[in-house]
Each structure stands twice: as C-alpha cells, then as structure tokens.
Amino acid sequence: MLLKPNDLVALVSPAGRLADTSVVSETQNLLQKWGLKSYVGENALKQHGHFAGTDAERLHDLQEALD
C-alpha cells in the first residue's frame, strides 16, 4: 500500500527517544513537501533511561499510530 496525498504519518519512538528535535522538524517539513500530514507521538521526545518514555508510554504512542 502506497501513501497518498494528505495521508497521516506518525513519528513515534518505540525504543530510543528522538533526541534531535531539528531532525524531527526537518522530517515533518519533508513529509509536508510530499503532500503528507504528520504528527509527533506524545511521548516520542520523552526520556526514561535510554528510552522514549516508559514501556506504557511508548506502547500508547505506537497503538495510537496504528489505530
């Protein structure tokens, strides 16, 4: 299945956090240029040890992206 204009892309971190917020912004700009919508998961930028939030927080973001 290919992405179509206006499809929504979730930027989530099921493991390590997205440490460089400039990369996140650049990625969102690129997706917009491609005609796609995007959002950053609620917990993608959090830090819990080496991870992007707790297990429950990361699972929440991933499940939200899949729903």
pLDDT values of the chain reduced to their tens digit, one per residue, 67 residues: 799 999 999 999 989 877 788 999 999 999 999 999 999 999 999 999 999 999 999 999 999 999 9
Long-range Cβ contacts of 20-27 (<8 Å, 24+ apart): 21/45
How much is the pTM? 0.84
DSSP alpha helices (H): ranges in the chain?
A: 21-33, 55-66
Report the first-to-last Cα separation within the chain, whole angstroms. Answer: 17
The per-residue pLDDT for 65 is 96
Q: Is 51 helix (H, G, I), strand (E, B) or coil?
A: strand
Return the closest-CA partner of residue 7 out of 42, 41, 43, 31. 31
How many residues are present in the chain?
Answer: 67
The per-residue pLDDT for 43 is 92
